Structure 1
Amino acid sequence: MHLARGEPARARRRHGAELEAALLDAAWDELTERGYAALTFDAVARRAGTSRPVVNRRWATKDVLVREAIARANDRFTLVDPDTGSLRDDTIALLEQLNEAFVAFAAVMTARLATFFEETGTSPAELRESLVSGRWPLIESVVNRAVERGEIDASKVTPRIVSLPYDLLRHEALMNVEPMSPAAVREIVDTIFLPLVV
């Protein structure tokens, strides 16, 4: 069969996990571009190349769709354990991996989700916890390896100190909505974090 000039090709029909992933990606794109208040099932369906009933069959409410879209966007970003043999270099490597991701999520959480938090009665802190909890074991393991090597003083290590470099990175992302410079990442590690643990 030949298409007439200008006639659009028929999209391949998607099913199951593939269709759900396309819908969640479309919801994330709508969220980042338009914000929660302006996001609609119709817009998500259009962006995903399907119909609104397809969206409605999977998600009863917009907030549930958005939660799952955020979770999928978060799951696509994975941390790689640098394991350089040095706490300084491991921490810098993890901060550099998180830099772009924090900015993307900071933009959504500050400018795009105000109505979501109002409607659901939740807070940015609760959403942040759901996003970072899966990465915390790797961050802790970097510090634990440094303790085992005798590189840092275990008596000075507390959960707040371990999270400090990442909290500072997140704060910068929220305030500036742009990646931190490599020099600033190293400054956090060299002048704030390491002096607290050695």
Structure 2
Amino acid sequence: MQSVPSSEMDHRRRPRRRGKALDEAIFCAVVAELAENGYTRLSMETVAERARASKASLYRRWPSRVELMMDTVTRLLPDHEDPPDTGSLRGDLLALLRQAAAVLAGPAGEAMRGLLSDVLGDPERAAWLRSCAQRSGVMGTVVRRAVARGEVDAACVTPRRLETGQALLCHHFFLLSAPVSEAVVVEIVDEVLLPLLSAPPVRAGGR
């Protein structure tokens, strides 16, 4: 009797997985789909087939592809509480932006680029996506270390300045649709961030 290919087997006859094991299989399937086929061709059906799971098991966890993608991005982003510590501000900034560029070059970046059009009409989701892309809190940790080392005057640190590095990185990636090269990372650090973090703050109302 000819065997039935595993891809054609009814999911109900496959070994049942629950909880973390099933979640992990689904997320691995999402990452593989993003890498091989991109965001636009990814669907709940293709993820379920690759994960060897039922569509119902996906929809019980995520009401739509958007929620699934948002959870995937969250899992793929590096720990924002532990940014690189090289011992110098320039080294930390380079390491942080290189890390961010690497994330954008992978499945997380593909998902974030695809999510742009899906979440723009939803202010809450759009704010979430911006926070993922900019991650100014991570930059704040890096700059506070520099302040403690005496490399930066605390008066020069403002929320807007903390957003600048990641904002430029995202501008290059999302709007120019181009990978963030090492040269771009170095230019952002040396031509923008270091001068900006050493400049006196602008006072409201003029000079």
For the aligned pair, the TM-score class normalised by the smaller chain equals: 0.7 to 0.9
The number of residues matched between the two structures is 189
Residue equivalent to 1:171? 171
CA distance in 2, matches of 1:167, 1:67: 20
Note closer, same or farther for the CA distance 1:62–1:187 as it changes in structure 2 (3 Å cut).
closer
State which of 110, 116, 119 in structure 1 corresponds to 2:118: 116
Residue equivalent to 1:52? 55
Note closer, same or farther for the CA distance 1:106–1:19 as it changes in structure 2 (3 Å cut).
closer
Q: 157-166 or 58-67: which moved more?
A: 58-67
Equivalent runs, 1:142-161 vs 2, <5 Å? 142-161=142-161
Residue equivalent to 1:138? 138
Residue equivalent to 2:39? 35
Which gives a bigger RCO, structure 1 or 2 (Cα 8 Å, sep 6+)? 1
Q: 100-109 or 165-174: which moved more?
A: 100-109
Quote the offset at 1:88 in angstroms.
0.8
Note closer, same or farther for the CA distance 1:86–1:62 as it changes in structure 2 (3 Å cut).
closer
Task: Kindly provide the amino acid, as one letter, of the partner of residue 186 in structure 1.
Answer: V
CA distance in 1, matches of 2:43, 2:86: 46
Q: 77-86 or 180-189: which moved more?
A: 77-86
* Root mean square deviation, CA, Å: 3.3
**Structure 1: 5+ residue runs without aligned partners?**
none
Note closer, same or farther for the CA distance 1:86–1:40 as it changes in structure 2 (3 Å cut).
closer
**Structure 2: 5+ residue runs without aligned partners?**
7-12, 199-207
Contact 1:109 1:124 in 2 (8 A): no
Residue equivalent to 1:64? 67
User: What is the percent sequence identity of the aligned residues?
Assistant: 35
CA displacement 1:133-185 (0-9 Å, x = unmatched): 8x544321211121122212222211111221121111111134343222221
Residue equivalent to 2:96? 94
Residue equivalent to 1:127? 128
Q: TM-score, normalised by structure 2?
A: 0.72
CA distance in 2, matches of 1:41, 1:106: 19
Q: 90-99 or 47-56: which moved more?
A: 47-56
CA distance in 2, matches of 1:60, 1:165: 34
